[in-house]
Amino acid sequence: MTEPVRVLPRRIESDADTVERDLFKLVLTVVELIRQLMERQALRRVDQGDLTDDQVEALGLALMHLESAMRDLRERYGLTVRDLDLDLGPLGTLLGEP
C-alpha cells in the first residue's frame, strides 16, 4: 500500500520574527479582496444609474481613501499588491493582479 502524497508538511514552520508580518499580510489580502469587490460593485451601480451624482462622488472619495490607506499599510510592512495575491492554481490568482 502506498502512502498518500502530502501537499502540506506535517508541521507548519513559523518564525516568531515574521508571525506578525505574515498575519498582517493575510489580513491585508482579505481587505484588498473586499476592496476590489466593493469597487466592482460600485462601478456596476454607476453603470446602471442606481446612484445620484452626490452618491457617486461620495463613493468615489471613499474608495480613494480606502485605496490610499491600503497603500500606506502595505508600505509600512514593505508589501506590494503582488505580495498579497494568492495563487489558486488552475483558477488563477485571487486578486487578479498581473
Whether 14 shows a pLDDT value over 60: the answer reads yes
Average pLDDT over residues 16-35: 85
Query: Which grid cell is 4?
Result: 498518500
Among 76, 86, 91, 98, CA closest to 32: 86
CA distances in angstroms from 32 to 13, 19, 27, 77, listed in the order given: 26, 20, 9, 15
Whether 11 shows a pLDDT value over 70: the answer reads no
The pLDDT, as a whole number, for residue 50 is 87
E strand intervals along the chain: none
| pLDDT per position as a tens digit, 57-88 | 999 999 999 989 999 998 988 888 888 888 87
CA distances in angstroms from 52 to 35, 38, 56, 59, 81, listed in the order given: 21, 17, 6, 10, 32
Of 26-30, 39-43, 82-86, minimum mean pLDDT range: 82-86
* Amino acid sitting at position 45: R
